[in-house]
């Protein structure tokens, strides 16, 4: 049994902490898209880990894999590995030969493009990590793969081809005074050093065959970003440049579609909505409510520290995510954050051009015009959430259960885990398909 965890919204739904929960029964945790634009937080016994590239399962000592669908910033990867080792963990990590390298010029060009778009208010609000330009190079067959770094001659040839083009674009289009980020020799030396470390650590593999050789292993596919940020299925152009939806787990690792679809596909849902970056968000709070809520909820980006935009839970958006990904279950976290509100609403449908629609439209213009139709819910007060988590689902206040059951019924899928705080122990696990499958197997 495998499980694929997918962000249902605009990212930061709690994928890291839920991956940590479900990976208890896994052998391998695989990231299949994105790069260091992700920031996945896991909190265990008050220790917080904010991971950007290393899969969240390593906190439990599981093998971590970065699939071909990822774009890899090697500086971030090595810094993260060093820091985890300093903290007493021993992460076992493998990186696909086919994954693409994020170079310093990608970062510069990402930021330059955003600045240029600022002028006509079309900036996406990217994390500025060069993710879009790295995927653009991959698609236009100009990218450099991790496997190509390992051979110095290939690395030099590829850099000699690509860097002058990048420099020309930076200078002519964006009017940037280019420096080391666009210098072949500097880049060659720096990335040769990285490649030597990759070789020393012996971590570059063909991920598709690596996973195929471990056919009995239980795998968690850990999505980054979220469905509404998907390049194809999110609200283009306010998206990231990869496919965080469930299909991405297949294409981004080289496993068969059955490997993913025979397992569970779990939508990670936050009890309200948040977003960093631009684009429509029909249930967004007005400025004053958002400021109060943000302080209460601590809604600041894990990667950029930017304040997150916040709003009411949006069922049309979640129905869409359930359909596109084929969720077989969801998790519902941040229920504690909603404690103490004066009112509690969920958007049940939108009104668009006089019609009632119950799923997300396809264009940002349409989405901006959607008028949310709200259901009101009973609010709940603050509690000793850890004690409630220990006592289990039935101990939760009736209002919390009513809220959770409404969401589950509307989406037509069960809730496998509820989060009432950031920590591992603040989780109510209703079902963990991986541990359940493995217990009988161990007994035989
Ligand atoms: P990810 O990108 O989906 O892994 O999510 P992030 O880690 O970027 O953001 C989620 C934030 O919410 C982190 O700071 C988590 O520690 C925190 N968090 C996760 N689940 C809960 C929860 O149930 N309650 C509270 N209060 N915080 C949570
Ligand atoms: P995790 O995995 C929240 C958003 C950016 C921007 C858009 C494009 O932690 O949920 P990019 O740098 O990818 O080109 O930015 O996507 N974004 C995220 N928002 N969580 C993330 O990752 C995100 N990764 C990218 O804010 O709107
Ligand atoms: Mg995050």
Please report the pLDDT score of residue 442 as a whole number: 38
pLDDT > 70 fraction of the chain, expressed in percent and rounded? 98
Cα 41 to middle of ligand 1, angstroms: 6
For residue 437, how far is its CA from the centre of ligand 2 (angstroms)? Answer: 33
- Over residues 44-60, the pLDDT tens digits come to 999 999 999 999 999 99
The number of the ligand nearest the C-alpha atom of 270 reads 1
- Indicate the top mutation candidate among 11, 223, 239 to test ligand 2's pocket, ranked by most ligand atoms within 8 A of CB: 11
What angle, rounded to 10 degrees, do the helices at 104-118 and 131-139 form? 110
Which helix H or strand E contains 329, and what residues bound it? strand 329-333
pLDDT in tens, 406-425: 999 999 999 999 999 999 99
161 flagged as catalytic: no
Do residues 424 and 430 make contact, with C-beta atoms less than 8 angstroms apart?
no
pLDDT score at 437? 53
Ligand 2 centre to CA of 349 (Å) is 26
Quote the ligand 3 centre to 301 CA distance (angstroms): 7
Domains of the chain: 3-92+208-436 (3.90.170.10), 100-204 (1.10.300.10)
pLDDT score of 439: 41
CA–CA dist 234, 33 (Å, integer): 15
- From the CA of 300, the nearest ligand is 1
Mapping DSSP onto H, E and C, the string for 351-420 reads: EECCEEECCCCCCHHHHHHCEEEEEEECCCCCCCHHHHHHHCHHHCCHHHHHHHHHHHHHHCCCEEEEEC
Cis peptide bond prior to 98, omega within 30° of 0: no
Q: Is the CB of 420 under 6 A from ligand 1?
A: yes
Distance of CA 196 to the CA centre of its chain: 29
Chain centroid to Cα 147, Å, comes to 24
**Residue 311 scores a pLDDT above 70:** yes
289 confidence band (pLDDT: 50, 70, 90): confident
pTM above 0.85, yes or no: yes
Q: If you take atom 13 of ligand 1, which residue's CA is the nearest one?
A: 41
Smallest CA separation from ligand 1 atom 25, residue? 421
For residues 298 and 415, the model is more confident at 415
Is the distance from CB of 386 to CB of 375 less than 8 angstroms?
no
Contacts of 253 (CB under 8 A, 6+ apart): 30, 32, 65, 67, 68, 69, 96, 207, 208, 211, 221
Which member of 20, 27, 40, 292 is catalytic? 40
User: Residue 307's pLDDT is what?
Assistant: 87
Which residues are registered as beta bridge partners of 219? 28
pLDDT tens for each residue of 83-98: 999 999 999 999 999 9
Predicted local confidence at residue 178, as pLDDT: 96
CA distances from 415 to 399, 403, 421, 431 (A): 16, 12, 16, 8
């Amino acid at each position: 049994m495998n499980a694929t965890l997918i962000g249902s919204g605009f990212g930061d739904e709690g994928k890291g902490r839920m991956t940590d929960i479900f990976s208890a029964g896994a052998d391998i945790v695989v990231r299949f898209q994105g790069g260091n634009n992700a920031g996945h937080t896991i909190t265990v016994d008050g220790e917080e880990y904010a991971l950007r590239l290393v899969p969240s399962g390593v906190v439990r000592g599981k093998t971590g894999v970065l699939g071909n669908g990822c774009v890899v910033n090697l500086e971030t990867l090595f810094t993260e590995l060093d820091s985890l080792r300093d903290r007493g963990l021993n992460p076992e990590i493998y990186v696909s030969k086919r994954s693409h390298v994020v170079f310093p010029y990608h970062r510069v060009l990402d930021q330059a493009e955003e600045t240029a778009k600022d002028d006509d208010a079309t900036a996406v609000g990217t994390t500025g990590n060069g993710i879009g330009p790295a995927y653009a190079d991959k698609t236009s067959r100009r990218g450099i793969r991790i496997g190509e770094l390992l051979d110095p001659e290939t690395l030099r040839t590829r850099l000699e081809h690509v860097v002058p083009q990048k420099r020309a674009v930076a200078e002519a289009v964006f009017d940037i005074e280019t420096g080391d980020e666009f210098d072949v020799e500097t880049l060659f030396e720096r990335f040769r050093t990285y490649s030597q470390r990759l070789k020393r650590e012996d971590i570059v593999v063909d991920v598709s065959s690596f996973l195929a050789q471990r056919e009995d292993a239980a795998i968690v596919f850990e999505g980054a970003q979220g469905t509404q940020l998907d390049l194809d299925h999110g609200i283009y152009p306010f998206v990231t440049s990869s496919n965080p939806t469930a299909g991405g787990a297949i294409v981004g690792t080289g496993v068969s579609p059955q490997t993913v679809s025979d397992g569970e596909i779990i939508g990670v849902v936050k009890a309200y909505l948040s977003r960093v970056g631009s684009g429509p968000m029909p249930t967004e709070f007005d400025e004053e409510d958002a400021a109060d809520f943000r302080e209460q909820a601590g809604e600041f980006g894990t990667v950029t520290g930017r304040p997150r935009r916040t709003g009411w839970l949006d069922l049309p958006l979640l129905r869409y995510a359930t359909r596109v990904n084929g969720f077989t279950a969801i998790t519902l976290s941040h229920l504690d954050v909603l404690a103490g509100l004066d009112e509690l609403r969920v958007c049940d449908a939108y009104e668009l051009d006089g019609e009632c629609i119950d799923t997300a439209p396809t264009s940002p213009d349409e989405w901006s015009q959607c008028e949310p139709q709200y259901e009101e819910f009973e609010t709940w007060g603050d509690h000793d959430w850890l004690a409630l988590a220990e006592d289990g689902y039935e101990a939760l206040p009736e209002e919390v259960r009513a809220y959770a059951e409404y969401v589950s019924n509307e989406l037509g899928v069960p809730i496998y885990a509820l989060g009432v705080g950031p920590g591992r122990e603040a989780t109510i696990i209703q079902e963990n398909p991986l541990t359940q499958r493995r217990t009988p197997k161990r007994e035989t």
